Structure 1
Amino acid sequence: MNVVFVEPAFPSNQREFVRGLQAVGARVHGVGERPYEWLDEELRSWLTDYVQIGSVTDTTALRQAVEHYQSRVWVDRLEATIESHILPTAEVREACGIPGTSRRTAWLCRDKPSMKHALAAAGVPTAATTAASTTEEITDFVARIGYPVIIKPRSGAGAQGTTKINNDTELVAAIESLGDADEVAVEEFVEGHEGFYDTLSIDGTAAHDFVCHYYPNVLEAMRTRWISPQFVSTNEVDAVGAYAQLKELGHRVNEVLGIGTSATHMEWFIGDRGLRFSEVGCRPSGVGSWDLYARGNEMDVYRGWAHAIVHGSSDQVSTRRFAAGMIALRPESDGVISGYSGVDEIWDRYGEWMIDDHFPAPGTGTQPVEAGYMANAWVRMKHPSYDTLRGMLDDVGRTVRVHAA
């Protein structure tokens, strides 16, 4: 099978999808923004060939690259795994007559108000939402729904560019800060615990699924320096009744949005008003979560994805042996990292349960809190007990300090 894969080199874990495709027998034809010479020898060995273009989100350039390959071989699949690449890839896929995720599905997964309207119409619980391009549309929505609300880019992912609004004063300030933005999504703020449900789906059914929990919720984590936020993948996914509703609704989301054979990423909240979906992506989740799934389930998740794409089936078993999680460690202030304390202590205490860690060298400039979970230092761990793992990660957060000047 010939698979055209969009942007094999960046971000760094993109290479793992290429490796997986090559491992299950595909000939991988890359399209990326970097010169071929910049790719390392191992990555080049997994690629059958490679075309460089200026931007992989430029549908004209991407289509030309795909048509170049089609003039030489039969292209069976065209795949992308990054949020901003999904819609342009789907547009080129349809234009070139290649099977896979449709433009409609990609659009619904990218355009948050349209997605939520489609899900709500099908009975999938979501936060109330609207797309707004004028001050009047925003204030009318707030008048109907009440505070708090959130405002974010219509095609935003996660908490990126998201602002929580609690009163009229904050609303006025948020509207003024939007500047020349053409349109935004305005949503009811859902109170409750937040997590995400990820799958490797084949013909719309989850062949593998994974459940993660955020501590605390993302919006708070991305706005508060002193918090060392975590997300933890549970190994209790198959416990009787524990996640039955989440799995049922996840399958319904696939049906409504038309997601067939694809990775999926579904953000959810659960609180006094029950379970609600907030965002859905027809792509893998980010921030290294697939590495946690691999360690927790003793499987090669990237190869599993590739086997689904190439062969339409699964060749692995999720063992559910370990819960696996990550804790982000923020510098005490912005500036330059001057050193760390507590790292050796943590390794001495939990060495057998450590997956890996990342501590930028002293002298490295810090990244802002809102840059995300992997922007500065972090630690990843596993344990057979979910509750024990949570306690271990809390201990890391109390013990390790990132000093900055």
Structure 2
Amino acid sequence: MNYIVISPYYPQNFQKFSIELAKQGITVLGIGQEPYDQLGHELQEAMTEYFRVSNLEDLDEVKRAVAFLFYKHGPIDRIESQNEYWLEMDAQLRTQFNVFGPKNEDIEKTKFKSKMKEIFRTAGVPVTPGRVVTTDEEVEEAVERLGLPLIAKPDNGVGAAATYKLEEPRSVREFLANWDRSVAYFLEPFVTSTEMCTFDGLVDAEGNIVWATSFDYTDTPLNILLQQKGFAYYTQMEVDPLLRQYGEAAVKAFGMKERFFHIEFFRNGDDYIAVEYNNRPAGAFAIDVYNFGYSRDLFRDYASLVAGNGFPEADGPVNHALAIARRDRFNYQISKEELLERYAANLKASLRMPEAFAELQGNDMFIFTSDDLDVIHNIIRDVETLAE
């Protein structure tokens, strides 16, 4: 099997993706813009060939790289990055070269919030109503029909970037003053719940879920970004049956195959409201958090699945796994050194967040595990409490 990995070097914790594919006997062919000497010995050894492009953003240049690898190594079986940033290009390459996996028409389902909402709705998963707006008149109509407060997000966009909260007429006017009319926006009622959770997992080549989990955010990503608050989330040891029901229905409706998925929900009393279907694993160090909580190596497990060797059993017990960050700009009541000493038995990793994720998620990231949710909550309190 010939497997092209887009951007095998970055992010660094995704390098293991290529390494584990190679261990399964898969021919790994990398395309990236970093110099070969920068890749490091282990990643170099994993790849049969690495094609360096001058600009990974240049689709034509990347297409020429794929064509060369196709000519030299024979048919390409997979093209994948696992990275949100490259998902659209991955799909364009698969479409151009007729490679297994989501094509252009498939990626539309998760690219536009308006289309995503409709798929959730047809799957029987609760969502808020919403409207796509491209003109000032459509904004005014949406405000009149949906009422305030509203959340305004680019219809084609990810995460909390370029998001506005429209609470009163003044904030609507501010949005209109800042809005580039070439970007279609999706307006929907603001959900007052600050309880956000996920249904995440992995599907095989037939679209069957082989592994699933759920984690809770301590606050919404939008609040964290706007208020520069601490960022934290922790995995659940068991998935709530209703959340699982909605998540499984959504996965079936979106119809993706041999992929990770990351679906965000608001918890709304005893029910849930779907927010977004992400056609990849959760970002930054989430894979590492899953691995520590579930005693797994998910890139190894994914590679085994791709190679046709099934999905391996876990290596050990299931625990809660907590990812929690601090920001350099704040002073905290408990020093980093004291914190790591106090919870040394629970600490799994102390990491520096890549700059690309720092604004949303903070600068220092810690991963802890425990089978006791009270311990997890104590750690959150001690990590986040600011000095007086």
Question: In the alignment, residue 6 of structure 1 is paired with which amino acid?
Answer: I
Aligned residue number for residue 110 of structure 1? 111
Structure 2 residue 365 is the aligned partner of structure 1 residue 372: no
Structure 2 residue 386 is the aligned partner of structure 1 residue 386: no
Q: Give deviations 1:243-281, integer Å, cap 9, x for gaps.
A: 212222222222222212111011111214831211111
Q: Give deviations 1:302-354, integer Å, cap 9, x for gaps.
A: 11122222327312337552101122212346xxx9x9962222222211101
SS in 2 for 1:140: helix
Question: In the alignment, residue 220 of structure 1 is paired with which amino acid?
Answer: N
Aligned residue number for residue 351 of structure 1? 344
Offset at 1:186?
1.8
Structure 2 residue 242 is the aligned partner of structure 1 residue 205: no
How far apart, in 1, do the equivalents of 2:83 and 2:9 lie? 12
How far apart, in 2, do the equivalents of 1:370 and 1:153 lie? 21
Structure 2 residue 26 is the aligned partner of structure 1 residue 26: yes
Structure 2 residue 155 is the aligned partner of structure 1 residue 158: no
Aligned residue number for residue 188 of structure 2? 187
How far apart, in 2, do the equivalents of 1:367 and 1:88 lie? 22
How far apart, in 1, do the equivalents of 2:101 and 2:29 lie? 16
Structure 1 residues 29 and 323: CA distance shift in structure 2, 3 A = same
Moved over 4 A (4+): 366-370
**Which residue of 276, 281, 297 corresponds with 2:278?**
281
**Normalised by the size of structure 1, how large is the TM-score?**
0.88
Aligned residue number for residue 262 of structure 1? 259
Aligned residue number for residue 253 of structure 1? 250
Question: In the alignment, residue 185 of structure 2 is paired with which amino acid?
Answer: V
Aligned residue number for residue 145 of structure 2? 144
**Which residue of 199, 209, 217 corresponds with 1:214?**
217
Structure 1 residues 268 and 47: CA distance shift in structure 2, 3 A = same
Given that 1:152 and 1:186 are in contact with CA atoms closer than 8 Å, whether structure 2 keeps it comes out as yes
Aligned residue number for residue 13 of structure 2? 13
Q: Give deviations 1:57-80, integer Å, cap 9, x for gaps.
A: 443222222221111222111112
Q: Give deviations 1:102-127, integer Å, cap 9, x for gaps.
A: 32221211211111123223432222
How far apart, in 2, do the equivalents of 1:15 and 1:295 lie? 18
Q: Give deviations 1:149-205, integer Å, cap 9, x for gaps.
A: 111222222212222111111011012112354222222222321112211111222
Alignment RMSD (CA, Å): 2.6
SS in 1 for 2:227: coil
Aligned residue number for residue 310 of structure 2? 313
How far apart, in 2, do the equivalents of 1:348 and 1:279 lie? 38
SS in 2 for 1:191: coil
How far apart, in 2, do the equivalents of 1:289 and 1:347 lie? 20
Number of residues of Structure 1 aligned to a counterpart in Structure 2 = 385
SS in 2 for 1:351: coil
Given that 2:3 and 2:77 are in contact with CA atoms closer than 8 Å, whether structure 1 keeps it comes out as yes
How far apart, in 2, do the equivalents of 1:31 and 1:340 lie? 45
How far apart, in 2, do the equivalents of 1:48 and 1:367 lie? 30
Aligned residue number for residue 70 of structure 2? 70
How far apart, in 2, do the equivalents of 1:234 and 1:167 lie? 37
Overall identity of the aligned pairs, in %? 23
Given that 2:134 and 2:181 are in contact with CA atoms closer than 8 Å, whether structure 1 keeps it comes out as no
How far apart, in 1, do the equivalents of 2:121 and 2:150 lie? 18
Structure 1 residues 104 and 342: CA distance shift in structure 2, 3 A = same
How far apart, in 2, do the equivalents of 1:65 and 1:127 lie? 43
Offset at 1:295?
0.7
Question: In the alignment, residue 341 of structure 2 is paired with which amino acid?
Answer: D
How far apart, in 2, do the equivalents of 1:188 and 1:54 lie? 44
Structure 1: 5+ residue stretches without partners: 238-242, 361-365
Structure 1 residues 49 and 340: CA distance shift in structure 2, 3 A = farther
Structure 2: 5+ residue stretches without partners: none
Aligned residue number for residue 240 of structure 1? none
**Normalised by the size of structure 2, how large is the TM-score?**
0.91
